[in-house]
Structure 1
């Protein structure tokens, strides 16, 4: 029979917490089990990367215009683009770098703007001034995020094949296969030399034909195209027609009519010759000491580095069987190795924390029931934290995994305090259920205070701005969720488990007596 004297009963609100946990132990266990299952599913589907996904306040515009001199690039391309970007809402700084045939313009915004909308503003302004730029200039615009950097790099090499053949193999065979992988956003080629046709003109013959280079260039452009030619209706059917004038071979180019003089066509072969060769190259890419073509693989912002790497390894295994024996595919960069090591380190920390907790609690309390009651909090807290990460759109990365690993040593504290308080009450002779109620009532306020202290320390990190906020926000959120989860479990799940696994004083004394008898002299 429990002691119901006024001196023994805790105050009203404090008693209700322990009473609630005891009366609702089955629903609490069911809810915790459901959260654990949801946490396991979330962990299996959680995307993984090295850093937290974020939108840096920067949009980059890359312009390519062949070999145009740098001062002309500055006057005709860089300055018009800079002037068009100045009054975009949220833009704070514009920086540019211009060289021969290329320019890079970076538009910086403040951290509070919607970067997707800002990128659309930049694209809109580029469209407005497109007519002012040279017709040969090509522009590329991208928003700076961590996904803008490659997660995996693959090299294609051969000791016998020329670099143009490697480029064609990478462009037309490997790149489409890699783009089919779920989560891959882009595959960029670095190195190699694109094949092209070179028209080599004899100046004397060109002058004798009374032609200039502009006429030759114009003829090549106008005769190397495919264009709609109109519509034809017949038998109640409408046919769309096209004219295909694309040049497909050296012979097609040499037979091209550039002009007609006195009724005689002047062909390209009359003043020059055509050769197939690689485009001019300004950099050299090698791997393992030979020329190579590199394929840089970039993921979607929501893509999982581990999933992409696993799928890519399977694809490479198939490609190696299909490639010629003298072609070799290999990784030269693999970000998934770092992510995999980080995930493994977290699970090692969890297992290590569980083992240490079991040993320490059992050494001091010498009771498996109390030990089990305390250590259950660690895996449950981790799974609930992972579920919360999934719900808010976070991923496994160095900061979130680091937050979970750092919290492992803290989440067990609340459960140990509760178990020790309950164990002390029961060992002092209080009935088990009364001991649970009294222990929860006595330690509730100190327990909440000790847990909220580190929470208050980490919460301000979630409101940092700039680059520091990008990294520490993820760390702070995982730490805070882990600590608050451990507090809730300590005052709900731990008392419920204590009601099942911790015995009354007679059972505890009987267990210790058996251990003493087994360990005593014969």
Structure 2
């Protein structure tokens, strides 16, 4: 079979050349499209499920939220392990699937099972899926820097968190390839109603009445339409609260025709929500965000899109607010790829010089050197087909394999040259084209089979 393939290739050299050119073009396309990262993604095939139950202790969360979720998810097909953690007001479950299960199919199975858990969980608890990302999805992190020259008064952490949540986060999540943008640091601004028990007793009002009044007075309603003089008017009841004064003026009850308002029994102010962490940059508390890349995306391309979007958002930010990165994986990726690229170029140059010194035959140099970039392009084509990213491990394997390719090329070239020289000595003249082709065929058939099996054994060793 190998001998027949050699004979066919020598008879159809034009077709072989066309096939090589097609592989070159296809390989260049794969080279551009193959995802690039610094290190290979060795994380598990997992799906995260989290649920909030505000104010509850870890034991209550474990018994009523974490346990029902983890038990029901264990029965899914393809699940290898289920790990869960219960914290104050929060439950996190990690479902690890077998590697043969596609990530999207795994998320679909988890979603279908979670839809059946509504009756088993406490009211108000809704389990949600985590981002469609892996352990290496954390590709970019930034913080909001305030330039005191442009904004002398500065901004408090609550205002910066609002800018992050409502300006930056929403626009960055629309970037292709971004699974989630997580906000860190600062305070979630909220209106706080601090009830005075003494005033409640004096006014004869219960805490439940205060809560019901706040819920009932924060609502917009519709009243259909009114037609008059050939025109249609919308009827709306506007009751949304817009600030501290609106909340303080909400009536709770009345005594002898005198309304008792929120301000009479409580103090209303703007405060921060309960938090469990902070972001520290240079010894000062700050507000920032973490960009999580979607599973299977190109890290370099996603980071470039994020940077482009941040440049577009910058002019719309309040005066003095500047987005500054403090973790950017593209720098690490660029340095890693540059190092391996230099190593590959140096290796090709050294191989060429070795041929010049030992063989001193120009055509043999081309025969051995030209297949090197072709084999690299074919490698990228296969990497793209099997979903392997271009990282330090895969590129190092290519660099190691170049030595093996050179060895096979040298054996084949040297054997062809030796057969031609022996034939020239035998006939006492230079060989013609037909004679050279016949010597090449005999020499290639002689070493083709051993080279093929040697390469096959080395490939199996890599696998």
Q: TM-score, normalised by structure 2?
A: 0.85
Once residues 399 and 233 of structure 2 are traced to their aligned partners in structure 1, the CA distance between those partners, rounded to angstroms, is 67
Which residue in the other structure is 1:79 paired with? Answer: 67
Q: Which one of 453, 456, 461 corresponds to residue 457 of structure 1?
A: 461
Once residues 408 and 444 of structure 2 are traced to their aligned partners in structure 1, the CA distance between those partners, rounded to angstroms, is 11
Once residues 288 and 157 of structure 2 are traced to their aligned partners in structure 1, the CA distance between those partners, rounded to angstroms, is 11
Matches within 5 A, 1:348-359: 348-359=342-353
Which residue in the other structure is 1:367 paired with? Answer: 361
Q: Does the alignment pair 1:445 with 2:439? A: no
CA gap of 1:390–1:90, structure 2 versus 1, over 3 A, is closer
Once residues 15 and 256 of structure 1 are traced to their aligned partners in structure 2, the CA distance between those partners, rounded to angstroms, is 93
Which residue in the other structure is 1:98 paired with? Answer: 86
Partner deviation per Cα, 1:287-320 (whole Å, 9 max, x = no partner) = 1222211210011223211112223334444555
Q: In structure 1, the residue corresponding to 2:86 is in which secondary structure?
A: strand
Report if aligned partners of 1:147, 1:300 keep a CA contact under 8 Å in 2. no
Once residues 285 and 140 of structure 1 are traced to their aligned partners in structure 2, the CA distance between those partners, rounded to angstroms, is 25
Partner deviation per Cα, 1:106-149 (whole Å, 9 max, x = no partner) = 33444444553443343334333334434444533227742673
Which residue in the other structure is 2:197 paired with? Answer: 203
Shift of residue 82, structure 1, vs aligned partner: 3.3
Which residue in the other structure is 1:37 paired with? Answer: 25
Q: Does the alignment pair 1:296 with 2:290? A: yes
Report if aligned partners of 2:226, 2:235 keep a CA contact under 8 Å in 1. no
Q: Does the alignment pair 1:22 with 2:10? A: yes
Matches within 5 A, 1:151-190: 151-158=139-146, 160-190=154-184
CA gap of 1:14–1:409, structure 2 versus 1, over 3 A, is closer
Structure 1 gap segments, 5+ residues each: 1-12, 460-522
CA gap of 1:441–1:112, structure 2 versus 1, over 3 A, is closer
Aligned pair count?
A: 446
Report if aligned partners of 2:133, 2:179 keep a CA contact under 8 Å in 1. no
CA gap of 1:317–1:289, structure 2 versus 1, over 3 A, is farther
Once residues 3 and 107 of structure 2 are traced to their aligned partners in structure 1, the CA distance between those partners, rounded to angstroms, is 58
Partner deviation per Cα, 1:352-402 (whole Å, 9 max, x = no partner) = 121011111111111211101110010000111112222333332333323
Once residues 100 and 308 of structure 1 are traced to their aligned partners in structure 2, the CA distance between those partners, rounded to angstroms, is 34
CA gap of 1:96–1:237, structure 2 versus 1, over 3 A, is farther
Report if aligned partners of 1:18, 1:436 keep a CA contact under 8 Å in 2. no
Q: In structure 2, the residue corresponding to 1:303 is in which secondary structure?
A: coil
Q: Which one of 49, 53, 56 corresponds to residue 65 of structure 1?
A: 53
CA gap of 1:114–1:185, structure 2 versus 1, over 3 A, is closer
Once residues 42 and 99 of structure 1 are traced to their aligned partners in structure 2, the CA distance between those partners, rounded to angstroms, is 45
Which residue in the other structure is 2:428 paired with? Answer: none
Shift of residue 240, structure 1, vs aligned partner: 8.7
Q: In structure 2, the residue corresponding to 1:146 is in which secondary structure?
A: coil
CA gap of 1:335–1:193, structure 2 versus 1, over 3 A, is same
Once residues 358 and 457 of structure 1 are traced to their aligned partners in structure 2, the CA distance between those partners, rounded to angstroms, is 27
Once residues 179 and 69 of structure 2 are traced to their aligned partners in structure 1, the CA distance between those partners, rounded to angstroms, is 27
Shift of residue 54, structure 1, vs aligned partner: 7.6
Partner deviation per Cα, 1:35-67 (whole Å, 9 max, x = no partner) = 101211221222223455688343322222233
Once residues 76 and 149 of structure 1 are traced to their aligned partners in structure 2, the CA distance between those partners, rounded to angstroms, is 31
Which residue in the other structure is 1:435 paired with? Answer: 439
Which residue in the other structure is 1:139 paired with? Answer: 127
Partner deviation per Cα, 1:159-207 (whole Å, 9 max, x = no partner) = 7431112112222222234234332221110111111111122212212
Report if aligned partners of 2:367, 2:413 keep a CA contact under 8 Å in 1. yes
Which residue in the other structure is 2:377 paired with? Answer: 383
Partner deviation per Cα, 1:256-300 (whole Å, 9 max, x = no partner) = 222345554432122123111222333231112222112100112
Report if aligned partners of 1:55, 1:115 keep a CA contact under 8 Å in 2. no
CA gap of 1:143–1:255, structure 2 versus 1, over 3 A, is closer
Structure 2 gap segments, 5+ residues each: 149-153, 425-430
Once residues 409 and 116 of structure 1 are traced to their aligned partners in structure 2, the CA distance between those partners, rounded to angstroms, is 39
Report if aligned partners of 1:62, 1:104 keep a CA contact under 8 Å in 2. yes
Which residue in the other structure is 2:427 paired with? Answer: none
Query: Which structure shows the bigger proportion of residues in helix conformation?
Result: 1
Which piece of structure 1 moves more, 46-55 or 165-174?
Answer: 46-55
Q: In structure 2, the residue corresponding to 1:104 is in which secondary structure?
A: strand
Once residues 439 and 238 of structure 1 are traced to their aligned partners in structure 2, the CA distance between those partners, rounded to angstroms, is 94
Once residues 244 and 95 of structure 1 are traced to their aligned partners in structure 2, the CA distance between those partners, rounded to angstroms, is 47
Once residues 60 and 233 of structure 2 are traced to their aligned partners in structure 1, the CA distance between those partners, rounded to angstroms, is 47
Which piece of structure 1 moves more, 351-360 or 429-438?
Answer: 429-438
Report if aligned partners of 1:147, 1:299 keep a CA contact under 8 Å in 2. no
Report if aligned partners of 1:346, 1:404 keep a CA contact under 8 Å in 2. no
Which piece of structure 1 moves more, 250-259 or 261-270?
Answer: 261-270
Once residues 231 and 407 of structure 2 are traced to their aligned partners in structure 1, the CA distance between those partners, rounded to angstroms, is 80
Shift of residue 213, structure 1, vs aligned partner: 1.8
Report if aligned partners of 2:37, 2:391 keep a CA contact under 8 Å in 1. yes
Q: In structure 2, the residue corresponding to 1:128 is in which secondary structure?
A: coil
Q: Which one of 391, 406, 423 corresponds to residue 412 of structure 1?
A: 406
Once residues 45 and 190 of structure 1 are traced to their aligned partners in structure 2, the CA distance between those partners, rounded to angstroms, is 33
CA gap of 1:190–1:138, structure 2 versus 1, over 3 A, is farther
Report if aligned partners of 2:223, 2:237 keep a CA contact under 8 Å in 1. no
Once residues 321 and 8 of structure 2 are traced to their aligned partners in structure 1, the CA distance between those partners, rounded to angstroms, is 69
Q: Does the alignment pair 1:193 with 2:187? A: yes
Report if aligned partners of 2:132, 2:294 keep a CA contact under 8 Å in 1. no
